[in-house]
Amino acid sequence: LSADSASLKNKKLGIIGLGNVGNALIKNLERTGYTVTSILDINKETYSEFEDRAFSTPDNPKSLAEEVDIVFTGLPMPHHVKAVFEGETGLLEGLSEGKIWIDHSTTDYEQTEEMSVLVEERGGRMLEAPVTGGLEALKKGQMTVFVAGDEGVAAEVRPMMDDIYSNVIYTGRMGTALVPKVLSNMLTCVHNLAMGEAFMVAKKAGVDMRTMFDCIRASAGNSFVFETGGPMLMQGTYDPSFTIALQCKDNRLGYQMATKHKVPIEVLGHAMQAYNKAMYKYGDEAPCYIAPKMLEEACHTDLRCEEFKDWEYSIQNVDGSSVIRHHGIDIKRTDRKELSDFEV
């Protein structure tokens, strides 16, 4: 245990937003020995899972910030972050000298830049830290986190971030972490749409779905989305852990970035419109990988595969890459000796 890690474990931590990110964050912090003392969410029913803890549940963000040393937020939309931040009882009012705010929300990076200036004027410090990798990985502490802001502050909390995430990447000044996070999410849309088309062509051509999965994951066409979204497509779950409304929000943020910097995004833009169409058709709460269902309906053919009904995944960080490990399906495992043969 390093001195820095020990010091961080003595600090009081507060969590605002107990959705998927906030809920998993509390458990990962506690699992690794950190001290969560205060929680806050507009939906008080989210507190029920933590009734056995002696958590403080202050009335507003200002009060929570006053109680703790480090505040984490994990909120759905930019306007939610803004609502928590502003006002007489807002987060900003409680971020006094020395306090740190770590924002895990995927939000508007220009809004984040503006907020960080106001935080610094009060003597507080801020980091943006969007996470990526999927809910199941988040629950297990296997996510990647991008961190931006003052390098000294990032270094100060780095031992904690290393403990609760599998891969921590410092991206630079405030605003630079949200750019790759948003663009990564946009890329998943391109992969998902193309994957659905590839599976449909294969099925119409008489190729077994499990065989198609094994062939692509062993070839140049493979991707993180193929290895996770593919099984979810074959289950018919389409990743219910993340809504299509949140995905479309990220697409809009990416479009705004591209517009600001005058970059034409023909492929990403097409994916954005396809996802909008799916959201309008299936509703805001539909799962984020549901867009290929439109193709299934148009072709009157589903892409289910019984072999994936019990499938789950975990993530292993290998040389900085997120490698998917599959569970609940019959699969050949690479043993440690085989892996070592590739080491230089």
Distance between CA 68 and CA 95 in Å, rounded? 10
Residues 124 and 153: beta-carbon distance below 8 Å: no
Work out the angle at residue 78's Cα, subtended by the Cα atoms of residues 73 and 84, and round it to the nearest 5 degrees.
50
Question: Which pLDDT score, from 0 to 100, does residue 276 have?
Answer: 98
10-residue block means of pLDDT along the chain (344 residues)? Answer: 76 96 95 97 96 96 98 96 98 97 95 97 97 82 94 97 95 96 97 98 98 97 96 96 95 97 98 98 97 98 97 91 93 65 46
Residues 38 and 12: beta-carbon distance below 8 Å: yes
Q: How many Cα atoms occupy the beta-carbon half-sphere of 247 within 13 Å?
A: 36
User: Coil, strand, or helix at residue 299?
Assistant: helix
Question: Which pLDDT score, from 0 to 100, does residue 342 have?
Answer: 42
Of 5, 16, 30, residue with least CA distance to 64? 16
Residues 126 and 119: beta-carbon distance below 8 Å: yes
Sequence-separated (6 or more) residues with CB below 8 Å from residue 83: 90
List % helix, strand, coil for the chain (3-state, nearest 5): 50, 15, 35
Distance between CA 139 and CA 312 in Å, rounded? 13
Question: Which pLDDT score, from 0 to 100, does residue 135 have?
Answer: 76
Phi, psi of 123 (to 5 degrees): 95, 0
Distance between CA 42 and CA 57 in Å, rounded? 11
Phi, psi of 211 (to 5 degrees): -65, -45
Q: Which residue has the tokens 């749409």?
A: 193
Question: Which pLDDT score, from 0 to 100, does residue 212 have?
Answer: 98
Distance between CA 251 and CA 272 in Å, rounded? 6
- Number of continuous H segments (helices) and E segments (strands) in the chain: 15, 10
